[in-house]
Amino acid sequence: MKLHSQSISPNPIVLVIDDSTDVHRLLRARLRDEELELVQAGSGAEGLRIATDQHPTLILLDLDMPGMDGFEVLRALKERSETQDIPVIVLSGLQGSQDKVTAFDLGAVDYVTKPFDLTELRVRVRSALKMHRLLRLLAERAQVDGMTGLWNRAHFDKRWADEFAGAARHRRPLSLAMFDADHFKSVNDTFGHPAGDVVLQDVAKIILSNCRQTDIACRYGGEEFALIMPDTLPEDGLAVCERIREAVAATVWPRHPDRVVTLSAGLAGTGSPEALSPAEWVDAADRGLYQAKKSGRNRVVMTILTPHGPIKLGQTG
């Protein structure tokens, strides 16, 4: 099953952080035939901001810059969860062994001294991009649920923390939905576990086909699913949840065509996540799911979160 994650540029993004316009001009000219997209930053502070916002695939970092130097940038990159996994190649006129040791201790993957040989630099960039791609594939496979092909609970925990932090920092809307298959145990008990497995797999497909490219769909555990919806107001998230709920309820299951399978859901969201915690948010969505189950199942209960407390706005279905 195709994973449904955040949209990715067709070419890797390489961020060049250097205060020299000549270096930017040279790299753009000499790397133009490579299958990558160059992004430029003229200072350490600008480079750190771009890295946090755009999350490039690779960073080429100069050490000797006014203001925030390369060592400070590298240290900040490796301290932030959003950027700590981005490989960094240091480009520097500093050739002392201690500078190299410090750069590697701070997390650089390579160190190229200026003036650099362009052919050698291209090879090093290709090598770093290839290694990053392989490591990302291995990491992704470890975070995929084997039954449904969705992201698993470990991935949910990490992505939820990242999305929450980004939304809180930039005051962006965010919504989270928790889904649970109604009376799922009776499907297993009546029709057998293979039939139950098919239900889980097909519900996962329905969730993927009815959410947006930017949404992050996960199997939370058992017959429970989670959907992270970045940049989404709760009212818009409700429309996504309703689309999913209605699609599942309308599905005819070949192994038990007379048995309808439905979903209950709790949705929690806000236009500005300040004064909340990630755990409180999950708890609010979970309480909404419990309320949906308690009030009859096959429905969505929406909660809008505010600094003054949750506001429950009824239910659909």
Q: CA distances (Å), 196 to each of 79, 184, 205, 254, in order?
A: 43, 7, 14, 12
Residue 72 is part of a domain; what is its CATH number? 3.40.50.2300
- 181 and 267 in a common domain: yes
- Domain boundary (118, 141, 164) is at 141
Q: What is the pLDDT of residue 299?
A: 96
Amino acid at 10: P
Tokens for 306? 């505010």
- Domain boundary (141, 165, 200) is at 141
Domain, as residue range, for 212: 153-316
- 205 and 81 in a common domain: no
- 180 and 117 in a common domain: no
| Rounded CA separation 118/122 (Å) | 6
Tens-digit pLDDT profile for residues 184-198:
999 999 999 999 999
| Rounded CA separation 75/80 (Å) | 9
Residue 7 predicted with pLDDT over 50: no
Tens-digit pLDDT profile for residues 243-262:
999 999 999 998 888 899 99
- 164 and 307 in a common domain: yes
Q: For 201, left (φ over 0), alpha (ψ -120 to 50), or beta?
A: alpha
- 169 and 134 in a common domain: no
- 254 and 229 in a common domain: yes
| Rounded CA separation 143/151 (Å) | 6
Omega of the bond prior to 115 within 30 degrees of 0, cis? Answer: yes
Q: Does residue 227 lie in a domain region? A: yes
Q: CA distances (Å), 285 to each of 231, 240, 251, 301, 312, in order?
A: 17, 15, 25, 9, 11
Q: Does residue 1 lie in a domain region? A: no
Q: Does residue 62 lie in a domain region? A: yes
Q: What is the pLDDT of residue 309?
A: 58
Q: What is the pLDDT of residue 203?
A: 96
- 177 and 302 in a common domain: yes
Q: What is the pLDDT of residue 149?
A: 92
Burial label, 290 (beta-carbon count in 10 A; 0-12, 13-18, 19+): middle
Q: Does residue 158 lie in a domain region? A: yes
Tens-digit pLDDT profile for residues 140-183:
788 899 899 999 999 999 999 999 988 988 889 999 999 999 99
- 98 and 217 in a common domain: no
Mean per-residue pLDDT of the chain: 89
Which stretch of 43-47, 65-69, 271-275 has the lowest confidence by average pLDDT? 271-275
| Cα atoms in the Cβ-side hemisphere of radius 13 Å centred on 59 | 32
| Counted domains in the chain | 2
- 192 and 129 in a common domain: no
